[in-house]
Structures are given as structure tokens and as C-alpha cells.
Amino acid sequence: MHRFYLPPDRCAGATLTLEGPEAHHALHVLRLVIGEVVTVLDGVGHELRCAVAALEKRRVTLAVRQRRDLPNPSCAVTLFQGVTKTRSMELVVQKATELGVRRLMPVLCERSVPQIGAEAAPRKIERWRDIAIEAIKQCGSPWLPDIAPPRPLKEVLAGGVRAELMLVGSLHPGATHPRVAIEAFRARHGRLPADAAIWIGPEGDFTPAEIEAICEAGTVPISLGPLVLRSETAAIYCLSFLSYELQAAAA
């Protein structure tokens, strides 16, 4: 079934309207016909089953047939991603969305090659959000992640980083297996965490001083194995593991 995205404020009525790129895709790529059934996602946990009611030159009208309110994930995961080069950062946004991340915080680190300034930030956020929208349409997730403006690591830490379980991918000695960190949390609290955060460094990883500052904020260093992974691979690895351990295990 074809999927479309509309923001929540445009999903309240008995009829919905596709305009702009969504309408173009429906009219000229998918070539929808009257009566065809499609799905609309609002990005905040709702899925609407609709039938095509009218086709115009630049607009498609949909009649809502069914609304489903989908439950929140059992653990809300935030990804603190050291900003990487354009293509790898876009891959991280896409795959993080598919893997159910609820919030993406792009972090400007000492070794981040693109140091995104205030003027470029809105364009980057818009591009990343477009990628995330396409990702939820592809995978069927009703949750569109909140993508924060890129900020320097010191500023992120100064603002206070809060999650019940905080992990950072690390190649440094003493890093533990991620399952050990999760089981230690379960042993202390008798349950899995309601929210978690994972830190992944940029190309070249975090500097030792950055790792130290992140750990001082209460973050547990975890090992991703003996191989040196690319930043985007490390993010996908960690989010996949957390999705399995914290979502599937709680289902």
C-alpha cells in the first residue's frame, strides 16, 4: 500500500489533502485512481487508512476510512551523532529513522569535517527531515524523529544530557559489551530503561578529552568489537542492537 506523510495539524479532519511533492508523487508517479486505498502517516504515532476521493491538477483529496493510534515504543532512543560528511550523515539519518530513533542530536565535534554554521544549519535540518520523512514512508513507521539543530559537543553537555541509560561507542580499553550495560541496568532497577541515549563519534571518532567529558556526564563506554567501524556503520550497529534488546525484548 502506498504511504504518504502529512503533519499532524493537517490530519485532523474527515478528509485530507495532498499538495506539493506528495501530490505530484501521487498523481504523476504512482498515478493513483479514484477509490484507491492509501496510508497517511502523521509522524506522531497515528496511521490513517484513506481512499482517494478526488484528483485535481495539483491536489489529491483523501477520505479517511480508519484511524489507528499506535503505542509509543517501549524505550525512546536518542542518537547523539558526531556530524560526519554529507553522504554518510544522510545515511545515518535514514537508517536511524528506519530503526526507530525518537530523537537525533547532531553534535559538532573536534574531528567533525563539516563544521556547520548558523546560516547553513536550517538547510541541513530541512534536508535531514526530508530524508527522515521518506524513510518513515518507506518502512511504515508512524514516528518521525525530532532532529535537533547541530550544536558543539560542549554546548550539548552543558545543556544537560538526560536518559536512564546512556552509552557511547568506544575503542578505548575498559569499554564493556552493550548487553552487559543493559543487564546491569536491569539488575539495578528490575526493568529495562524507558529511554536510552547512544553517542557515536564522527570520522576519526571522539578525541580522548571528548570521551572523558561524555563519560563524566554518566555515560557508559561500550565496545563495538575489535574492528574499527565507520561512523555510520557504528550508528546502525548500535541502534540495531538497542532496538532488539530494548524493543523486541519488551514486546
- List of residues 6+ apart from 30 with CB closer than 8 A: 2
The model's pTM is: 0.92
Q: Which domains does the chain have, with CATH numbers?
A: 3-69 (2.40.240.20), 76-248 (3.40.1280.10)
For residue 189, the number of C-alpha atoms closer than 13 Å in the C-beta half-sphere is 12
Judge contact between 77 and 100, C-beta under 8 A. yes
Q: How distant, in Å, are the alpha carbons of 93, 96, 155, 181 from that of 149?
A: 13, 16, 12, 29
The three-state secondary structure class of 221 is strand
Lookup: cell for 133: 520523512
- Of 251, 242, 159, which is closest to residue 197 (Cα–Cα)? 242
Residue by residue, pLDDT tens for the chain (251 residues) are 899 999 999 999 999 999 999 999 999 999 999 999 999 999 999 999 999 999 999 999 999 999 999 888 889 999 999 999 989 999 999 999 999 999 999 999 998 887 788 888 899 999 999 999 999 999 999 999 999 999 999 999 998 888 999 999 988 778 999 999 999 999 999 999 999 999 999 998 999 999 999 999 999 999 988 888 999 999 999 999 999 998 765 44
Longest dimension (CA), the chain: 62
Contacts 24+ apart (CB under 8 A), 181-185: 181/220, 181/222, 182/245, 182/246
**114 close to 85: Cβ distance less than 8 angstroms:** yes
Spatial contact of 4 and 22, defined as CB atoms under 8 Å apart:
yes
Cell of 111: 574531528
C-alpha cell read off for 235: 550508528
